[in-house]
């Protein structure tokens, strides 16, 4: 699962990133609203976690701009503003859910999962190709009818590729999916995961488009 966190408080932001990372969720963290629309154009996110009290551009304005540009990504507001009027305004401006600080991280995880499930429905969640079956929602992989175990990072890659079969994703995009904006990622980490996936799912499960990146063929 690939999430965009927009939070200016360093302590809160780091705590959220660490909590979600333990659940194999890749987090891209922005500390203000500037550049959010560009980030959404460059990367496919499963959900946005949005603080309202941001420098440069208020969170409500970020939300309005996001919806005005046609982005349908689920948005969960995280804020200390706890009045009914604040909640109504956030939801009316296009937020999908609203969580007041301080919050329990288990509740945050549950709400994120619920948002993504509702947004996805069952679209693109079942992938069938020759001897391979992938149920992304249930995290079930089968080859020739036999179950195969994938790691959290491998599922993160599969989730991204299967969501858009036929679309090529560069190594950089896959690194962002796995590690967010974390620096000093080993240069061959994506190739290692792809090699492991091909060993488990079959050599033709993931296509290497030379010089461009990786893709899966359209489901049959």
Task: List, for residues 66-92, the tens digit of each pLDDT value.
Answer: 888 888 889 999 988 888 888 888 888
Q: Are 51 and 78 in contact (CB under 8 A)?
A: yes
Q: How far apart are CA 116 and CA 215, in angstroms?
A: 22
DSSP lists the bridge partners of residue 129 as 132
Q: pTM to 2 decimals?
A: 0.59
Residue numbers in the chain where pLDDT is lower than 70? 24, 120-126, 128, 137, 180-187, 219-220
Q: What pLDDT, on the 0 to 100 scale, is given for residue 122?
A: 46
In the chain the domains, ranked by start, together with CATH numbers, are 2-120 (3.40.50.2300), 126-215 (1.10.10.10)
Query: What is the separation of C-alpha 150 from the centre of its chain, rounded to a whole number of angstroms?
Result: 18
Q: How far apart are CA 27 and CA 42, in angstroms?
A: 14
pLDDT tens sequence across 180-217: 655 555 668 889 999 999 999 998 889 999 889 999 88
What tokens appear for 17 in the block? 């990133």
Q: What pLDDT, on the 0 to 100 scale, is given for residue 201?
A: 92
What tokens appear for 153 in the block? 């990072």
3-class SS of residue 89? helix
Q: What pLDDT, on the 0 to 100 scale, is given for residue 89?
A: 87
Q: How far apart are CA 35 and CA 53, in angstroms?
A: 16
Q: How far apart are CA 173 and CA 42, in angstroms?
A: 9
């Amino acid at each position: 699962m690939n999430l965009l966190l927009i939070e200016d408080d360093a302590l809160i932001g780091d705590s959220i990133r660490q909590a979600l990372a333990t659940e194999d969720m890749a987090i891209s963290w922005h500390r203000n609203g500037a550049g959010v629309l560009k980030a959404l154009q460059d990367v496919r996110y499963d959900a946005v976690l949005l603080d309202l009290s941001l420098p440069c551009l208020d969170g409500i304005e970020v939300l309005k701009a996001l919806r005005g540009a046609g982005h349908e990504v689920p948005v969960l507001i995280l804020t200390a503003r706890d009045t009914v009027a604040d909640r109504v305004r956030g939801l009316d401006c296009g937020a999908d859910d609203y969580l007041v600080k301080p919050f329990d991280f288990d509740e945050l995880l549950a709400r994120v999962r619920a948002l993504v499930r509702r947004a996805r429905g069952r679209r693109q969640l079942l992938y069938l190709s020759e001897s391979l079956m992938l149920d992304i929602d249930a995290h079930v992989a089968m080859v020739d009818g036999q179950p195969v175990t994938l790691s959290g990072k491998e599922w993160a890659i599969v989730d991204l590729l299967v969501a858009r079969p036929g679309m090529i994703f560069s190594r950089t995009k896959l690194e962002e999916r796995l590690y967010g904006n974390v620096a000093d990622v080993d240069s061959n980490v994506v190739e290692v995961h792809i090699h492991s996936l091909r060993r488990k799912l079959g050599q033709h499960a993931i296509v290497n488009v030379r010089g461009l990146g990786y893709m899966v063929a359209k489901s049959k």
